[in-house]
Every structure is written in C-alpha cells, then in structure tokens.
Structure 1
Amino acid sequence: MIITVTPNAALDVTYEVDALTRHTSHRVGTVTERAGGKGVNVAAVLATMGRDVLVTGLAGGASGARIRADLDARGLRHDFAAADGESRRTLTVVSTSDGDATVFNEPGPHQSPGAWQRLLDHVAALVTGSGARVVVLSGSLPPGCPQDGYAALVRRCHDEGAVVVLDADGDALRLGLAERPDLVKPNRVELTETTGVEDIPLAVQALRDLGARDVVVSAGPDGLTWYAADGSAVRARLHVSLDGNPTGAGDAVVAALAAGLAEGRPREDAVRDAVAWSAAAVLQPVAGEVDPSDVHRLELQTLVEDER
C-alpha cells in the first residue's frame, strides 16, 4: 500500500476558449473539473499501473466535495481530513486556436493549528490502519500551516514505520529535511533554488547537510539521477526525444519511485521505471494519466548507467 498526501488539494477547472485576449469578454466552449494536486496525480498514475494506493490530505467545502466526487468517479480510493474553509481551485484557460494555456492558482484556505493537527493524526492513523509501506508527501502547504509542516508529517510517518518520499520545493522542502525523509525528488531548478548552489552534485550534498538521505534529481529531457546516501549514483534517460505535455511528468516520476520503494526494487530498475512513466505522462493531455502500453514501450528505450 502507498499513501499519497496532498495538504493543499485543489479542484482543477479548465475553460476552453477560441483565443484568450486581454480586456475583452470570452465565450467558454467547454468546462471540465478534475481533482488536482501533486499527490492526486501521483496516486492516479500508481492506480493506472496497478498499484494499491490511497489519497489523503485536506479537503473542505463544496470544492472539497467535488474533489471527492471526481476521485470516486475515477475509482481512486480516498480518505481526506476536514479542512478549514473551501478547498482551493486552479483555473486554466486554454486557447484552442494555438493550444496556449493560462493558469490561475488560488493559494488555498487558511488552516488553523487544529486543522493541521487533524491532518497529522489522520495520516498517522491511515498508515497504521493500512500497513502502508510508503507515504508520498507532495505539493504546497496551505496558508496557516507551519512552514516546517512537512517535517512533522515525516516524523509521524516514520514513527508508524513508513518510508517517506518528499516532493516539495523552497522552504517546504528545506525545512522538511530536518526529519530526514528517505527520498526527496527536486527537479534541477528546484534544487538550485532551494540550496543556492548551481553545481548539481554539490547542491545534492547541500540537501544532505540539511537532512536529506537519497536524492533523485529530474532534468526533463535529460533524464534523472538517483544520488544514494552511500555515495553511489545511477542515471536514466530516454534515448529518443518526445514532444508533448510535460505537466505531471514529475508526478509520474514520484509515482514510479514510490512503487519501487514499496516493492524493494533495485535503484536501476526504479529509475528506468521513473523515466518510462514520466515519458508516458508527457504523451497524455492531462496530468495524472499514463497508458501502460506506452510505459512498456518506453522502458525498452531507456538507458541506465552508473554516474561517476
């Protein structure tokens, strides 16, 4: 069992218009709503690839009800803690004439200390009750939550015997490292912004100095590298180029890494899966989707090598 935690879950709303033009009104052609947030996307990929997964986090109000309803419709198991206020929405306006997208991200409702404690207790109870081997913590923290909130979640999950994957950036990542998550997955930009260090191996060491153990750095078309706490490193990359939608590719990486940890797979196999799953996600129009046939085909086109 894998549990994904999205503290700041969202209802993703997409409008399609012919063309987005400033200072004018628009007639919307199509409106879609979908449960969103990085942990939701991770769970959706895991479920598609046949893994046992449960979605949790904070959700509240009418938007929270719609998030739950969408997950039900998609067959994704969920058990959210009650949020203070209305769950946030993201609004994406897509111009059908050129495919450009403009995104508006709400910050999310302000959470009281009591709401944050509810989430901590709820996640711990879910880990205990399900026997989950891996917990994925991902995305932004809602306003009002402690800046070191992820550290508290890591500690509670470790106390229940779970391995923790942390996928965050900025202060949420930096302060979350204090409780030594088992694996963190920044992309190259997030790694540099968090540490202030341009050189990748030196930036990884800077994360370790803050408490990180294993670090997987993703670099888009250049693949990804798993820097293990024992000093070894393994890199995987696709040897063909792909065009498509990169939104959600990082979440597919996290899904594959979590599956690998839960199943005790060798790092070489886990990074191959991560590249293939993320590449398959690029071929899909929305985040949180992969086609298993694409995954299997792309695994055969993924190169894995020791990084010296």
Structure 2
Amino acid sequence: MLAVCLNPALDITYEIDALHRSSTHRVRRVHMRAGGKGVNVAWVLQALGVSAAVAGFAGGATGRRLDEELGQAGLETRWVWVEGETRRCLAVFEQGVAQATEFNEPGPTIATAAWEEFVSSFAEWVRRDEFAAVVFSGSLPPGLPADAYARLIRLARSAGVYTVLDTSGEALRQGLAAGPHLVKPNLRELEELLERMEHDVVATRGVAVEKGRAAPDSDWQPPVPPTPAKRPSRDTETTTGGAHVPPPGPCDRMPSDPRDRSGAQPPPGGEHTRGDADRVGAQPPWLRHVRRAAEVLRRRGPKAVVVSLGADGVVAVTPAGTWRAQAPAVRGNPVGAGDALVAGLVYGILRGSAWPERLAHGVAVAAAAVASPVAGRFEPETYASLRPQVRVVPLSSEE
C-alpha cells in the first residue's frame, strides 16, 4: 500500500492542563513524531499488519529527521527532495477538556520541476510495484496545482489500483472528477464542497441565460441544520460517540486474495468482522440530509463516499448500500482520528471485507486512536474493547 503525503510534517504535541490566551503555560508532556495525514495513515496501517510506503516531498533537517524516523520504524519512504524545510505542526492538547488546538505551517514551496519529477516517478511506481491501493491524503504544499491529486488518481486508476482521497477545498473538488474509488470528507468539507458546486451551477446558469442556452440544474440541497444541541460538530475529525471536539486545523482491478499483496493480518484483539445491525435509537432528522448530500457527491465521480460526523459517527454511501456507523463515547485527543478511520477502511478493502465490516473496523480503529495522545497510534487492547460495541445501521431511502 502506498500513502501519498505531499505535505508531510514533524508533528509536535504539547499536553497542558488548559489553554489561556496571553498566558504562560507549563507543558506536562511533549510528543514528537513524523506526521502529516498520509504518514498517519501509514503508521496505523503498519500497526494493523499492512506493509506501507510513504511518498511525497521532503526538505531540510526536518525532512531528514522524518526520513530517518520512518526508516527506523520499517516504513519505506519515496521522497522527492526539495529546497526549503519540511513543515512542523504543533498541537496543543488540553487535558482538562480533551480539546486540541493546532498550528500548522504551510510547508515548502514546490517548484514545477520537482512536481514533474514526482509525477513521473509515481507513474512508474503504480505500473511496476503492484500496489493494491494508494491513499492520497492531506493538504497540497504551496506551488502545486489544485488538480495535483486528480492527475495522480488518473495515473493510479489507469494502472488498475484502488484509490482513496482524503483532502479538502479545491483539491477535493478537482480530485472528484478523476473518479477515486473512495473519498472521505468530514461534514464541514462536504458542506463547503457542495456550496461551491451550487455556486458554480448558479454562475453557469447565469452565463447560459445570457447566451440563450439551457444550464444544468443543481441536484442537491444544503443539509438542513439539526437543532444546535443535536447537530454534529462541523469541524471535528473525531469519529467516536464522545463529546464534540474541534478538529485539528490542519478498483478497477483488485487481487483475488488482497492479503497476498498487502500483507494485511487479522485486526488485533480477535476477529469481530461483522458490523452489528442493531439500531442505536431513532435516527436524527438531519441524517437524511447528510445522506442525500453524500449521494450527490457520489454522483460527481467517486464510487463510495464516507462522511465523518465527529461524535455522530460516519455515514457511508456505497455501491453496496448506505450505512451509518457509530462507536461508543471516547475521551481523548482527536488529532489524527480521521486518518485512523481511513487506514481502517483501507485495511478492510485490502482484506475484501463487506462494507459493514469495513465501517465497523474503521470506526473502532478511529475511536481507539482518540484514546492515544499521539496521532497515528492506537492500543490493540483499546481497539479490542471498542470493536464489539460499534453499531452499523443500514439506512433506507426514507431515512
């Protein structure tokens, strides 16, 4: 499995009691680890027994530190080395309220020659190395075009590789047109994307009217806001049933036995592979609007859409059906929970699991990651205790 992390980072986490503006703070613990969303995905996949490589841009002393750390941990790296310094991202985690505040640097500016070198190398990797899946995750560094992920997705798909996209903004909008197999926006990213699409449709309609042409009709309506007390947090990446926590700021062909190529092993803590179909209570009224928005997004190119709703779990719209998955309440650090969810879903894809099983596993891994103070980590014992408690509920068109 290849994790494309074009904008990796050295992740620094400060644990403090509480954050107060214009004050001096005593840091209780400091954690430093190679990070960036794609790197976090690779860390979790490795913990799940999947052989993973990381590709992207690296530069300076920070880039060398990341390369050394990942290599020592057994993760293969494929960097294009650039001028400038790989970024650092600081997360301040308040223990008292289980809330994280992030400060993310932009990363080095990537020259056109370096980008073309990466594209050429990537095209060779997906043709030659028989990756079962490629994950494109995280922000684009300065200097890259907005269609960077779209270009790479087309190359991977032309080689028959399963593709997963987890980004936001214009990179997400343009990436959809390349037809990734799976996209994983959070609710805020989904709403922003569909609002942008609606704006484009209105603009197109105005131009068409001026020129006497018919214009495409908009096929979506913005999700109707639930009551404030019940609404899922728009900004969270947490996929557990706990308190809402603000987020970190920052196949056309599959092998007959995916484990032969991925190296995936059974998940830690035993084989709980079926998503329980028990109902978790009455479905909230906003759920149908999230599902419909995800359906609109799926018609724009991807084969499956998984929307992370923070404390309210996930909604998945797939060729096999539509589900909502939710884990029990977990208190902890939400940084990297969305990346753990992606890794858990990819793990299920590589094993050929049915969609309810993929969702149950992914949500349990994400919840276990919240209990860890550092992104890209989870304890097998925590996963094992959470997995049987995950509920996966099929959603009908009426819900």
TM norm structure 1: 0.90
**Which shifted more, 213-222 or 82-91?**
82-91
Partner letter of residue 221 of structure 1?
A: A
Name the CA distance, whole Å, in 1 between partners of 2:313 and 2:17: 35
Partner of residue 91, structure 1: 90
Name the CA distance, whole Å, in 2 between partners of 1:261 and 1:107: 32
Partner of residue 212, structure 1: 302
User: Contact 1:128/1:160 (CA < 8 Å) preserved in 2?
Assistant: yes
Partner of residue 44, structure 2: 45
Name the CA distance, whole Å, in 2 between partners of 1:96 and 1:208: 38
Aligned length: 305
Identity of counterpart residues, as a percentage?
44
Partner of residue 283, structure 1: 371
Partner letter of residue 291 of structure 1?
A: E
User: Contact 2:298/2:317 (CA < 8 Å) preserved in 1?
Assistant: no
Partner of residue 255, structure 1: 343
Whether 1:115 aligns to 2:114 is yes
Structure 2 unmatched ranges of 5 or more: 196-221, 224-288
* Superposition deviation, residue 65 in structure 1: 0.4
Whether 1:233 aligns to 2:232 is no
Partner of residue 175, structure 2: 176
Name the CA distance, whole Å, in 2 between partners of 1:180 and 1:98: 40
SS at match of 2:76: coil
**Which shifted more, 49-58 or 88-97?**
88-97
SS at match of 2:377: coil
> CA separation of 1:23/1:188 partners in 2, compared to 1, >3 Å: closer, same or farther?
closer
TM norm structure 2: 0.71
Larger radius of gyration: 2
Task: Report matched runs for 1:186-205 at 5 Å.
Answer: 186-196=185-195, 197-198=222-223, 199-205=289-295
Name the CA distance, whole Å, in 1 between partners of 2:182 and 2:358: 13
Name the CA distance, whole Å, in 1 between partners of 2:162 and 2:11: 29
Partner of residue 78, structure 1: 77
Partner letter of residue 184 of structure 2?
A: K
> CA separation of 1:67/1:201 partners in 2, compared to 1, >3 Å: closer, same or farther?
same
Name the CA distance, whole Å, in 2 between partners of 1:18 and 1:241: 21
User: Contact 1:81/1:122 (CA < 8 Å) preserved in 2?
Assistant: no
User: Contact 1:3/1:127 (CA < 8 Å) preserved in 2?
Assistant: no
Structure 1 unmatched ranges of 5 or more: none
> CA separation of 1:97/1:258 partners in 2, compared to 1, >3 Å: closer, same or farther?
closer
**Which shifted more, 93-102 or 188-197?**
93-102
User: Contact 1:166/1:184 (CA < 8 Å) preserved in 2?
Assistant: yes
> CA separation of 1:294/1:26 partners in 2, compared to 1, >3 Å: closer, same or farther?
closer
> CA separation of 1:203/1:99 partners in 2, compared to 1, >3 Å: closer, same or farther?
closer
> CA separation of 1:260/1:15 partners in 2, compared to 1, >3 Å: closer, same or farther?
closer
> CA separation of 1:265/1:146 partners in 2, compared to 1, >3 Å: closer, same or farther?
same
> CA separation of 1:299/1:92 partners in 2, compared to 1, >3 Å: closer, same or farther?
closer
Partner of residue 293, structure 1: 381
> CA separation of 1:249/1:94 partners in 2, compared to 1, >3 Å: closer, same or farther?
closer
User: Contact 2:10/2:32 (CA < 8 Å) preserved in 1?
Assistant: yes
SS at match of 1:210: coil
* Superposition deviation, residue 262 in structure 1: 1.8
* Superposition deviation, residue 27 in structure 1: 7.6
Whether 1:142 aligns to 2:141 is yes
How far does the alpha carbon of each residue in 1:284-307 deviate from its partner, in whole angstroms, 9 at most, with x for none? 111100112222222211112211
Partner of residue 68, structure 2: 69
> CA separation of 1:246/1:92 partners in 2, compared to 1, >3 Å: closer, same or farther?
closer
Partner of residue 255, structure 2: none
Question: Going by fraction, where is strand more abundant, 1 or 2?
Answer: 1
Partner of residue 224, structure 1: 314
User: Contact 1:14/1:94 (CA < 8 Å) preserved in 2?
Assistant: yes
Out of 321, 327, 332, the residue aligned to residue 244 of structure 1 is 332
Name the CA distance, whole Å, in 2 between partners of 1:19 and 1:253: 27
Partner of residue 352, structure 2: 264
